[in-house]
Amino acid sequence: MNELPNHNIIKITGLVGILAAFLVGTGEFLLHYSPLGDYADDGQYVYLLQVSESRVTLGHFFAVIGAPLYLVGFWHMYLGLKPFGKIIPLVIFFVTAYGFIFGTIWIGSRASIVLLAQAHFAAEGADSEVLRRLMDFYILHSETLLEVTRVTTLLSSLAFIILVLTGKTLYPRWMAIFNPILLLISSFILFAVAPSIGKYTLPIALNVGYFIFFTLSTLQLAKVCKQQKLTGN
């Protein structure tokens, strides 16, 4: 096995990843949560109409402060995959980090669309048409950024599964099940079968997935590093 990562670095980077998921998840919940669970992506943003300005402000700053910390969490994942080889795990890190930068830009734009949607709902006539054009402009230039994050999360999760199943990483093979994209999909399934519960997790689905992933990853990698340090392997 390759050189073992520092035990403290494993723990610190993992905890920072958990913190990132918590902060961004809290921010997104404040920005997006709707008691009605009406999250249908119809371009009208109906689920944002009841979000107060104080929620928007608090949620915005929670999210934008936490989002860059995700990059530290992705480095934690890289350390867990590194024994497989330096190149492929590093490529996975860069792909994941690059995609999440798009997500960081997207989350920084959410405060604007909340107020735009509310203003459009209240407006009439020419004002309504102008606001609708602004919303369509937002959809094209900002919503598409999130798709990049989703695609790179899918690609990195598939790569994570393949590498972990080889048994040549620090992760136990069962961790392949708890990859970020599968955990993300689980939130959508939960909303479909139990909407009264799923309405709380769906608006923060990616953060819920990463919170679970980083928590399990930190526990497992810290355990493996400690055991191998004690045995001298």
- Residue 220's CB is within 10 A of a number of other CB atoms, namely 19
In a domain, 2, yes or no: no
* pLDDT value of residue 100: 96
- Report the C-alpha gap between 31 and 47 in whole angstroms: 10
Q: Is the pLDDT of residue 42 over 90?
A: no
In a domain, 159, yes or no: yes
**30 vs 125: which has the higher pLDDT:** 30
- Angle at which helices 53-66 and 87-108 pack, to 10 degrees? 160
Q: Categorize the per-residue pLDDT at 125 as very low, low, confident or very high, splitting at 50, 70 and 90.
A: confident
* pLDDT value of residue 188: 94
In a domain, 67, yes or no: yes
Domain with 205, as residue range(s), is 7-231
* pLDDT value of residue 233: 53
* pLDDT value of residue 1: 46
Question: How many CA atoms within 13 Å lie on the side-chain side of 126?
Answer: 0
Give the chain's domain count: 1
In a domain, 192, yes or no: yes
Cα–Cα distances in angstroms (integers) from residue 140 to residues 18, 83, 153, 156, in the given order: 31, 41, 21, 25
* pLDDT value of residue 232: 55
In a domain, 1, yes or no: no
* pLDDT value of residue 231: 58
Cα–Cα distances in angstroms (integers) from residue 118 to residues 31, 55, 57, 111, 135, in the given order: 13, 14, 15, 11, 11
Q: Is the pLDDT of residue 63 over 70?
A: yes
- Report the C-alpha gap between 118 and 49 in whole angstroms: 5
In a domain, 41, yes or no: yes
Residue type for position 74: F
Q: Categorize the per-residue pLDDT at 226 as very low, low, confident or very high, splitting at 50, 70 and 90.
A: confident
- Report the C-alpha gap between 49 and 177 in whole angstroms: 37
Q: Which candidate, 112, 20, 110, places its Cα nearest to that of 67? A: 20
In a domain, 83, yes or no: yes
* pLDDT value of residue 102: 97
Average pLDDT of the chain is 93
